[in-house]
A = this chain, B = another copy of it.
């Protein structure tokens, strides 16, 4: 049944039917959450061995003589740079290892650039109003950083090959106040889109007017595949080096969704020039980050192959959940053209577009029956989705049984909201 083909009477009848389903769900007093990209307990258990590799008997002295139990080493231990170099796609000596959060590093670096400036340029705070580009839908916590610093966020539409590069190029070529762009280039949050080779190449040759423009390349899902034929992201640093634009990208990743969220390790990959400035800024902020935890990660994974085989275990847990959700959406909306959604081969999210004007209502209807979703609008700067259409689903945390109920409840809410909308017009 395609709601778009129904008469008002048919719509009203269908609404009555769906409302009954909704009331039944309400009676179940559900307590379900698909709001955040949280790993499940099963996934967390994959990394419990990390808690054994260093104990009171362990030698924590590195090859270079560093005692990981004591002060020192601002930019991270060499062993973990080696391990994560292939994840970041840069050489080990192009890596700064931070604390437990890549988000926090992005915040810090923007703070450094605001206060002290990109190396060779005036601090951003002394340049008047500045702006960042935000491919949308995107990650709410990127937008929150910009709001904190009062940096204007300019939405740029996403396409299936990444941000609309025509728009990006046009804007940064003309406007000196645009200082950066937030990208999640692989399995983007929330759509799961991987930037095409052409998109990466165009980023590496971006005709930017502001010399202190930087690409915040948040490769959060670099090795977070849901398929045995994973998406392949072109190495942006390689491309930039070909073009002499190696100072453009700042590449981030972390182990938040590899080992333990909040108790992992975050990384920055950057050109020598950027790295040296950032290291200098960090030297005013801290003596160093948690080297014991860095060493734990090295001893647990041993090498890149160990890391990838660990990620395969995450995939085995996550794939059935994503399949369940996308299959339910396909089957519930078969022929009913009131919804579109992504079917990603990696990452943590499924992005759903409902009929314009319905997203907020869907999220509210879900909340009312005990299913928490990401707030409608959260995938856009300032929480404003002009179409009120995009909803982000995070299937990782609930069990398969819970997901079964949650996605059914979601579909009922989408139908109800859409019927209401169609009836009011």
State the number of copies, please: 2
Chain B residues lying within 8 Å of A69, measured Cβ to Cβ, are: 44, 47, 260-261, 263
Residue of B at shortest CB range from A44? B69
Residue of B at shortest CB range from A397? B70
From the candidates B145, B262, B288, name the one contacting A284 in the complex (CB within 8 A): B145
Q: Does A39 lie within 8 Å of B103, measured CB to CB?
A: no
The B-contacting residues of A in range 62-82, CB under 8 angstroms, are 67-72
Q: Is A114 an interface residue (CB 8 A)?
A: yes
Residue-wise interface mask of A (27-68) relative to B, using a CB-CB cutoff of 8 A (1 in contact, 0 not): 000000000101101001001111110111110000000011
Chain B residues lying within 8 Å of A38, measured Cβ to Cβ, are: 70-71
Q: Does A103 lie within 8 Å of B286, measured CB to CB?
A: yes
Q: Indicate whether A148 sits within 8 Å of B51 (C-beta atoms), given known contacts A69-B44, A70-B39.
A: no
Q: Indicate whether A260 sits within 8 Å of B292 (C-beta atoms), given known contacts A104-B286, A115-B149.
A: yes
Q: Indicate whether A144 sits within 8 Å of B101 (C-beta atoms), given known contacts A70-B261, A293-B263.
A: no
A49 CA to B54 CA, complexed, in Å: 11
A63 CA to B396 CA, complexed, in Å: 24
Q: Is A290 an interface residue (CB 8 A)?
A: yes
Chain B residues lying within 8 Å of A252, measured Cβ to Cβ, are: none
Q: Is A99 an interface residue (CB 8 A)?
A: yes
Q: Is A147 an interface residue (CB 8 A)?
A: yes
Q: Does B103 lie within 8 Å of A285, measured CB to CB?
A: yes
Q: Is A333 an interface residue (CB 8 A)?
A: no
Residue-wise interface mask of A (4-36) relative to B, using a CB-CB cutoff of 8 A (1 in contact, 0 not): 000000000000000000000000000000001
* Shortest distance between the CB of A392 and any CB in chain B (Å): 16
Q: Is A107 an interface residue (CB 8 A)?
A: yes
Chain B residues lying within 8 Å of A176, measured Cβ to Cβ, are: none
Q: Does B107 lie within 8 Å of A284, measured CB to CB?
A: yes
Residue of B at shortest CB range from A57? B48
Q: Indicate whether A262 sits within 8 Å of B72 (C-beta atoms), given known contacts A144-B284, A284-B148.
A: yes
* Shortest distance between the CB of A30 and any CB in chain B (Å): 18
Q: Is A125 an interface residue (CB 8 A)?
A: yes
Chain B residues lying within 8 Å of A139, measured Cβ to Cβ, are: none
* Shortest distance between the CB of A318 and any CB in chain B (Å): 15
The B-contacting residues of A in range 311-347, CB under 8 angstroms, are none
Q: A41-B67, A71-B256, A263-B293 are in contact. List 5 more A-B contacts (CB 8 A).
A: A44-B70, A69-B263, A71-B261, A99-B289, A262-B292
